[in-house]
Amino acid sequence: MTPSELNQLRDSLKAAHKNVKKCLHVCVGSGCLSSKSETFIPAIQKEIQAQGLKEYTVKGVGCRGLCAAGPLVSSEPDGTLYHEVTEADVKGIVENLNGIKNNEKVYNTDTPFFKKQKKIVLENAGEIDPCSIDEYICADGYTALTKVLTSMNPQQVIDTISTSGLRGRGGAGFPTGRKWGMMAKSVSKDGKKFVVCNGDEGDPGAFMDRSMMEADPHRILEGMIIAGYAVGSDQGFVYVRAEYPLAVKRFQLAIEKAREKNLLGKNILGSSFSFDIEIRLGAGAFVCGEETALIASIEGKRGSPSPRPPFPTTSGIWGKPTMINNVETFANVAPIINRGGDWFASIGTDKSKGTKVFALTGHVTNSGLIEVPMGTTLREIVFDIGGGCLNGKKFKAVQTGGPSGGFITEKDLDTPISYENLQNLGSIMGSGGMVVLDEDDCMVDITRFYLRFCVDESCGKCAPCRIGGYQLLQILENILRGRGTPEDLPQLKQICHAMQKASLCGLGQTAPNPVLSTMKNFEDEYKAYIEGGVKYARQKSKGKS
């Protein structure tokens, strides 16, 4: 296929799209699927036929974000949203297309949950059918790729990404443009270089990558192909957790469809650029989210991290230069190319540009997937978008960054979100998990939860992480059983600092973060366990904000 043929196809798809008066969008993300939402599609189809409504149609779409109110069905283009839909509601929803009003299941979208969000990465989620490449093309998909291949040289692509100020969305926030630049400069003897998409979303309490891969796989593919062109690579890998079978399936399908249309493979769109992508499955190891461990895993070995330097951009998979970006980072590429680096740089804060997707979960009313501009305050996220704590309970803390992150309390809620601000508060951006805790949650128990996770997931290669983590856990267990002593607290701190300084990779260096963060903000809860025993501590932790 050539660029002009692709444009022709897009035009004809758009023309066909105009003939559809109304379309019902049934969410087929993992969340809604668990309530059997896929069965609504044939049911709605049948009902549409039964009522003789020819210009109306139905399709499955990716996650809309409001998972807690699922299964969701929306009617486009008017945007009426139906929540907690059951088989029995299908008839009423189809009747509504015709102007009859059945309002019981209509969800009010005039709320901060929808109003305060800004969708760039997720703009297609809930709009297009993730299993259809035509739908993506119709939504101006692969225009960025065409633009890059026909009118830009690799350096111009890298410059655009640098101008945009995009930073790695995996958590550390390394400037993407600089990484691409480093990668473009590095040479390998046989010319092989690899582009890797890190979809090993191991953080407990995070599901951004999964939703993106399920809702809009082609956007991620497009970002990877553009990255391949910019850095001079012809082979990409997508590393996905095996725990996400649906994401794997949709991604595989997207790759096959893209190959059919010559958007992947040899001489893409008639140009001299060739690029192909393979899927590699993770196998349930959190440490494989770390770059060097991920590389080992793609090579088919156990996922042990190795010291850096050499950095993967110099020596990665099989010793070849390898560039690893997060799913969300790649999803940002196509819009940046289409709308320009300056446009992207105009969104967000001084140093953190664009938007960020968060998985808002825990004891919050509207749990689900959200996307907000950088610089939004945590209070807006938790109270406006999230709707505050469940059942009117009192807010205690919000945890960001998963097992490597920390806790942010009421007094810091007005901080605008950026990589630096969260770090200053003793937490991190992480990949975007955000867990809200209310007055009933015991902070020492949550800390033990995170620590146990890190101890389970430690690969055991370096002593500080392997032994330090275990010792921390033992002390915490003792404290939680009411057998702690006052000496435990300084000892905890000491071990934490040793781990931070001496561990080999990010997992060990950041594993003590939850401990340090809770000891800073909730020291009295630890003390209550040590001084007054378990019962006293539980009562006390409930009374406090």
Partner 1 sequence: MVGEGSDSVFGKILTIMTSETLDQGQMSCEEIRKNIQKYVDKWRNVEGSLIMVLHDIQEDIGYVPREWAMEIGKALDIKLARIYEVLTFYHYFKLKPQGKHSIHVCTGTACHIKGAPAILEILKTQLGFNVGETTADRLFNLDVVRCVGACGLAPAVVIDGEVNGKSTPEKIIEKVKSLQS
Summarize as ranges the residues that interact with partner 1 (CB under 8 A): 30-31, 33-35, 66-68, 70, 201-207, 210-211, 242-245, 278, 280-286, 297-303, 317-318, 359, 361-363, 367-369, 399, 402, 433, 435, 437, 441, 446, 449-450, 453, 456-457, 459
Question: Which of 247/495 has CB closer to partner 1?
Answer: 247
Q: How far apart are CA 459 and CA 254, in angstroms?
A: 33
Smaller CB separation from partner 1, 278 or 414: 278
Please report how close the Cβ of residue 33 comes to partner 1 at its closest, in angstroms. Answer: 7
E-assigned strands of 144-208? 194-199
449 vs 536, which CB is nearer to partner 1? 449
**Which residue, 389 or 496, is less far from partner 1 as judged by CB?**
389
Q: How far apart are CA 454 and CA 465, in angstroms?
A: 9
Distance CA 187, CA 233 (A): 11
For partner 1, give the closer residue by CB, 124 or 211.
211
In the complex, what is the shortest distance from the CB of residue 305 to partner 1, in angstroms, rounded to a whole number?
Answer: 13
Q: Look at the alpha carbons of 111, 117, 123, 128 in this order and tell me if their dihedral is positive or negative.
A: negative
List alpha helices for 375-512, DSSP H. 378-379, 419-424, 443-457, 463-480, 488-502, 506-510
- CB contact at 8 A, 526 and 540: no
CB 435 within 8 A of CB 364: no
In whole angstroms, the minimum distance from the beta carbon of 346 to partner 1 comes to 31
| Cβ distance to partner 1 smaller for residue 143 or 235 | 235
Q: Compare residues 134 and 441 and give the one whose CB is closer to partner 1.
A: 441
Residues in the chain: 545
Strand 276-281 relative to strand 235-240: parallel, antiparallel, unpaired?
A: parallel
Q: Which ranges constitute the DSSP H helices of 261-368?
A: 291-298, 327-339, 341-345
Output the smallest distance, CB 327 to partner 1, in A: 12
* Strands 395-400 and 406-409, sheet pairing: antiparallel
- Which among 423, 228, 473, 263 has a CA at the least distance from the CA of 333? 228
| Least gap, CB of 127 to partner 1 (angstroms) | 19
Q: Which is nearer to partner 1, 97 or 208 (CB)?
A: 208
Minimum CB–partner distance for residue 403 and partner 1 (Å):
8
Residue 440 CB, nearest approach to partner 1 (Å): 9
DSSP string, 8-52: HHHHHHHHHHHT--EEEEEE-SHHHHTTTGGGHHHHHHHHHHHTT
Instruction: Report the 10 Å Cβ neighbour count for 149.
Output: 19
Which of helix, strand or coil describes residue 427?
Answer: coil
78 close to 104: Cβ distance less than 8 angstroms: no
Query: Which residues lie closer than 8 Å to 536 by C-beta, 6 or more apart?
Result: 528
Min separation Cβ 101 and partner 1, Å = 29
Q: Which is nearer to partner 1, 253 or 281 (CB)?
A: 281
Nearest CB to partner 1, comparing residues 167 and 241: 241
| Tokens representing residue 89 in the block | 């509601």
Smallest separation, CB 208 to partner 1 (Å):
9
407 is written with which tokens?
A: 């806790």
- Give me the least distance between CB of 267 and partner 1, in Å please: 23
Q: How far is the CB of 256 from partner 1 (least distance, A)?
A: 15
What is the secondary structure of 487-515 as a DSSP string?
THHHHHHHHHHHHHHH-SSHHHHHTTHHH
Q: Which of 11/84 has CB closer to partner 1?
A: 84
Compute the distance between CA of residue 167 and CA of residue 413 in angstroms, rounded to an integer. Answer: 23
State which amino acid sits at residue 35.
Answer: S
Whichever of 229 and 244 has its CB closer to partner 1, that residue is 244
CB of 438 to partner 1, least distance (A): 9
Cα distance between residue 529 and residue 540, in whole Å: 9
